[in-house]
Amino acid sequence: MDTDRQTPPSALAVEPHCAAPRRGRPRSEAAEQAIFAAIERLMMEGAGLGDLTIEGIAQAAGVGKATIYRRWPNKEALLVDAVVRLETPEPELSGSSARQDLIETLEYMRRRGLDKRSRWVLMVIFHQLHSLPELKSVYYDRVIQRRRQVIRDVARRGVASGEFRADLDLDLLAEMLVGAMLVRTVLWDDSPLDDPALPVTMVDALLSGLGGPAHAAAR
């Protein structure tokens, strides 16, 4: 029998100290790589989260289903690991100014939207998150909340330095910038991300304001 505890390969699940080098044949590292590579390949071929089946993944990876279920307790755990694994590292913010940091954050989002793999993750996350509550909560805690916090911190520094208005609503700033970028990435297929000046345009629009002379006069 091999129906004992799983030893999941990566982030989420238990992975309890495999300190005891067990006796039998060791798990194949290549199998794991093949599984992740197969998921990635299926994704690139246009599959959604719902189209990914354990059987399909196993076949694409040239792997038996048991090899998957020996590592993950169920489909959702596998997909959580697969998605988390695709996350790219956060950008290092230069800190030269709050405006510059916001621009760099948006530039990071823009590049993610241009990268096919990252784009797929975003699309999947936003379009099918509901069906996998575990994946949803993990992604929220690990990615979304963290990035919101980054923007909030930047905004706080900007307020302290006088770059931003003293009465700035931190969440509002984050929402307008992130929202605009997400709309382009996830929602509207015809709003391109190609323009490298996009982050600068967005941040400066929000900082300088879009009101014209009539609006300034009316204040």
Is residue 58 a contact partner of residue 64, using CB atoms and an 8 Å limit? yes
Check binding of 56 to DNA (CB under 7 A).
yes
Check binding of 25 to DNA (CB under 7 A).
yes
Q: Which of 31, 38, 184, 199 binds its own copies (CB under 8 A)?
A: 184
**DSSP single-letter state for residue 186:** I
* Long-range residue pairs from 4-8, CB within 8 A, at least 24 positions apart, any chain: 6/69, 6/70, 6/71, 6/72, 6/73, 7/71, 8/71, 8/72, 8/73, 8/77, 8/81
- 169 is written with which tokens? 């609503």
Total of residues contacting its own copies (CB under 8 A): 53
Q: By C-beta, is 25 or 219 nearer to DNA?
A: 25
**SS3 for 161?**
helix
Q: Least Å distance between CB 127 and DNA?
A: 18
81-110 residues in contact with its own copies (CB under 8 A) are: 99
Stretch touching its own copies by CB under 8 A, among 10-18, 33-41, 53-61, 211-219: 211-219
Check binding of 187 to its own copies (CB under 8 A).
yes
Check binding of 144 to its own copies (CB under 8 A).
yes
The CA distance from 65 to 163, in Å, is: 56
Stretch touching its own copies by CB under 8 A, among 52-60, 61-69, 71-79, 154-162: 154-162
